[in-house]
Structure 1
Amino acid sequence: MDSESPQAKHVAIIMDGNGRWAKQKMLPRVMGHRQGVEAVRELVRSIEPMGIDCLTLYAFSSENWKRPEDEVGDLMNLLRKFIKSDLPEFIANDVRLKIIGDYKGLAPDIVAQLEDALDKTSKGSRILAVALNYGSQDEIVRAANLAASGGEITAETLEKHLDTADMPPLDLLIRTSGEVRLSNFLLWQCAYAEMVFVDVLWPDFTPDHLQQALDDFSDRERRFGGR
């Protein structure tokens, strides 16, 4: 990779395949989600040496409430445990937690945990953004209404009201599990992002897979609509 090759500073990942991973191994779905959390943990530890300034993870969409109640409950419990266990590591490793989506629609104790974590990591230099109760169409509608209240809606004024307004532009979107769709994730932000779709199920996704996607990105020519 030469000095002119682009380097992805903001990477977003649609973490797909936990349920299929568990099914393949004849395990309960919750075991797939638990292993998926381990994959998140390893990935977060790798972002600094890979030169990533911001990692955005699609953790729980606004559509995920349609899943069976026991599965949603398992996911919320995993979120509680993840925040509690990993917060000290975030602080020690200079990671700033950011939440995109309507996280205040979650259980009150989770909201309190999240806000405590947001406060305690606010000085971090690298961003871990987690999409919780997030849907991109809803985000754009909310941003448009806020922009309209201030006058004319332009691309610039709308962008200022997105959940990602204080984050760097999205460079690379990765989706695991072999599915090739955005699933209502970062639709505005993906306008000129590069995309990589991999067949690996999320619990099996490693920092090596991330590095491969970064290498793929560095080989691409980004034109942003130009020639």
Structure 2
Amino acid sequence: MNHAGVSPLSTQTQSAMEAFLKEATENGYTNSQMGTETIESCRQSAAKLINANTDEIAFVKNTTQGIILTANGINWQAGDNVITTNVEFPSNIYPWWNLERYGVETRLVQEVNKRISVEDIIAKIDSRTRIITISHVEFASGYRNDIATIGKICQDNGILFFVDAIQTLGAFEVDVKKQHIDFLSADGHKWLLGPEGAAIYYCSKSKLDQLTNTN
């Protein structure tokens, strides 16, 4: 049984990977159209899973790369701030801390009794808050954040919203429209029963002009 760690590969995943290796070994790039079709089919499935459009989905190597794309892609100004929690996986803290060199402050909401209070998040917001970034489920405690409420707060205040969905995608509903999510990243090696090194990255079309591709 999966436990939101690194899951055993499903037989379907194993078969698909073996078929790809066989095709690559026997034909190399000569039948690349088949690979392109497979990628686009996978993109459609990923979009359906989170209620996004297919042109809002990119494939990245892991959740961290999606976080870094977002952190590095925003046009920061000195005095801006980011809100996250003190119990995020390190890859959802260090890229934001790295923005200190641009004069950007990272504000950490403290966990209390293994929970993150929405009220404590609200208390950190001011007119220079550019983005709130949080895990759907915290990796150490298993606490599931109320991302729909947090997303609505972001929408109402003109704040961007990033969700690290690696701990829930495939197990709980993730709906980028209902939950007002602007950016999302999630690896495939947990509940999606895929291999490491394959992740999805979502960027809402409505926020695309606020992000510069730096990778």
Does TM, normalized by the shorter one, top 0.5?
no
